[in-house]
Structure 1
């Protein structure tokens, strides 16, 4: 069985509300990127875990859809995916409750029904969808 590992590192200083930290990824695409309470729960500068999960989900879904389209004999010109992640307070903590994926794609020669089928399959089977314990909805349309 094939196996793939990716790594990331987080460093935090101070309390949860007043502290701050940095995130670094194996590829160094993120290298000591700041994150903080205000970036997570407000509009402060820096990133946050939920924003990164939304980005990962949009990217994972787009790539999964591209592979499925190619496997079905279609070459996408463009796949634009947005992910809106919802986090809700629950029992004194927080949980990711939902992700809404919206995709608009330019795919020459595909019938709308076939596109809908492949988009639903990509939503169900991309690795990020499979790891999330959240309601995932999809709004897919050809551009």
Structure 2
């Protein structure tokens, strides 16, 4: 019994080591917990670009447009819109936006990724025109 108690205590200590009640970064994430969202608001530059989009005939529901590049130089476009359920004619929207951005000097000839977020931050559309996704 004297040898069993220390072994039992050691086993309990090993089994409970690292166990916590918090859901920190070690939490098992086997799948998404909900729709992708964006918590940031459009920057003043994104709002200014959206205003130029409106002036060129683009929809007034767009409140921000950000153009950035990933580490490979691929344009990543982020659009904030007031539409709650997205664009029924999304291809028309994407074509119109790409045409406007090309007029602004944004090079999209090697493809781009477009993410559109609604007023609550929920991602409504993702559109990838890169050659890898569209051979």
TM class, shorter-chain normalised? 0.3 to 0.5
Larger radius of gyration: 2
The structure richer in strand per residue is 1
Q: Choose between structure 1 and 2 for higher RCO, CA contacts under 8 A separated by at least 6 residues.
A: 2
TM-score using structure 2 length: 0.36
TM-score using structure 1 length: 0.34
